[in-house]
Amino acid sequence: MLIDHEWAATLAARRREMLEPELLALRVLRAEIACVRPGLLVERVEGWQSLAGDRYADLMRDLAGALADAETELERAEREAQAAVLALEEAEATARRLAMAPPTPHRPNPGAPWVG
């Protein structure tokens, strides 16, 4: 199978370029949640002596848990997206290096299989 390394490098670069805005969006969303969290959650809900107060306290705890879960998932997605960007950068660099490799008698195209 003949591999066009220049094409492979370009493809990796395009995929990386498409993923980078998604990574930025994850970072922005995570920062927004961190900024909004204090305004959404009441610091102290213990000690309220009514059924409505108890229900409100339960909902605050549920909301705090949901926000914590969302932040955890966003952090995980951000790590995975960052790892994918780094892998694509490495794939692009490798493909460009192979595209620039000098041909040899047995490999007129450095990406082609060896014909010895």
pTM over 0.85: no
DSSP per position, the chain: ----HHHHHHHHHHHHHHHHHHHHHHHHHHHHHHHHHHHHS-S--TT--SHHHHHHHHHHHHHHHHHHHHHHHHHHHHHHHHHHHHHHHHHHHHHHHHHHSPP-SS-SSTTSPP--
Give 62-84 pLDDT, tens digit per residue: 999 999 999 999 999 999 999 99
Give 7-36 pLDDT, tens digit per residue: 899 999 999 999 999 999 999 999 999 998
